[in-house]
Structure 1
Amino acid sequence: MPLIKELRQFKNQSCNEGYLTIYLSTDQTSNDQQRGEWKIRLKNGLKKIEKYIEADNEATIKAYRHVKKKATEAIYAIQTELPKSIVLIASPNGDFFLRKLQIPVENTFYWDNEPKIEQLERLSKEYPTEGILFVQKEHVFMIETSLGEINIERLYNLEIEKEDWKQYDGIAASERMAKRANHRDKYEQRFEANQQRAFKDLANTIQKEADRNKWSTIYLVGEQGLTTEFEKQLLFPTVKIIDKNYKKFSSKEIVGQVLAS
Structure 2
Amino acid sequence: MSLAKDIKHFKQIHCEEGCLSIYLRTSLSSADQQKGEWKIRLKNGLKKLEEYIEASDNQPELKAFKKVKKEAENHILELSTQLPNSIVFIGSSNGDFHLRKLQVPVENDFRWERHPVVDQLESLEEKYPLSGIVMIKKTDVHSVETSLGEVVEEKHYSWDIEQEDWKEYIGARPQAETGAALHREQYSERFDANQQRWYKKIAKKIEKEAKNRHWETIHVVGSPDQTSEFAKQLTVSDVLIVKKNLAKMKSHEIVKEVNESAI
Please give the TM-score of this superposition, normalised by the length of structure 1.
Answer: 0.81
Letter in 1 for 2:258: V
Letter in 1 for 2:129: P
SS of 2:157's equivalent in the other structure is: strand
Structure 2: give runs of 5+ residues left out of the alignment.
164-177
* 8 Å Cα contact 2:3-2:125 kept in structure 1: no
Give the superposition deviation at 1:186: 6.9
Distance 1:40 1:199, change over 3 A: same
Computing the radius of gyration from Cα coordinates, the structure with the larger value is: 1
* 2:23 corresponds to 1:15: no
Give the superposition deviation at 1:87: 0.9
Distance 1:57 1:243, change over 3 A: same
Could you tell me how far apart the structure 2 residues matched to 1:258 and 1:86 are?
22
* 8 Å Cα contact 1:222-1:246 kept in structure 2: yes
What root-mean-square deviation, in Å, do the aligned CA atoms of Structure 1 and Structure 2 show? 2.9
SS of 1:157's equivalent in the other structure is: strand
1:202-240 C-alpha deviation (Å, 9 max, x unpaired): 212322343455544321123334323211211232433
* 8 Å Cα contact 2:7-2:122 kept in structure 1: no
Could you tell me how far apart the structure 2 residues matched to 1:138 and 1:185 are?
10
Structure 1: give runs of 5+ residues left out of the alignment.
166-182
- Partner residue in 2 for 1:113: 114
Could you tell me how far apart the structure 1 residues matched to 2:187 and 2:52 are?
74
* 8 Å Cα contact 1:2-1:151 kept in structure 2: no
Letter in 2 for 1:132: I
- Partner residue in 1 for 2:222: 222
Give the superposition deviation at 1:24: 0.8
* 8 Å Cα contact 2:131-2:146 kept in structure 1: yes
Letter in 2 for 1:39: K
Distance 1:188 1:88, change over 3 A: same
* 8 Å Cα contact 1:83-1:102 kept in structure 2: yes
SS of 2:187's equivalent in the other structure is: helix
1:14-34 C-alpha deviation (Å, 9 max, x unpaired): 123322110111121123212
Please give the TM-score of this superposition, normalised by the length of structure 2.
Answer: 0.81
Could you tell me how far apart the structure 2 residues matched to 1:86 and 1:58 are?
29
Aligned residues: 245
Could you tell me how far apart the structure 2 residues matched to 1:235 and 1:57 are?
60
SS of 1:79's equivalent in the other structure is: coil
Letter in 2 for 1:53: I
Could you tell me how far apart the structure 1 residues matched to 2:161 and 2:113 are?
59
Give the superposition deviation at 1:135: 1.8
Identity fraction in percent: 51
Give the superposition deviation at 1:89: 0.8
- Partner residue in 1 for 2:58: 57
Give the superposition deviation at 1:92: 2.5
Letter in 2 for 1:15: C
* 2:234 corresponds to 1:234: yes
1:181-213 C-alpha deviation (Å, 9 max, x unpaired): xx9987323334565433212212322343455
* 8 Å Cα contact 1:102-1:256 kept in structure 2: no
* 2:226 corresponds to 1:249: no
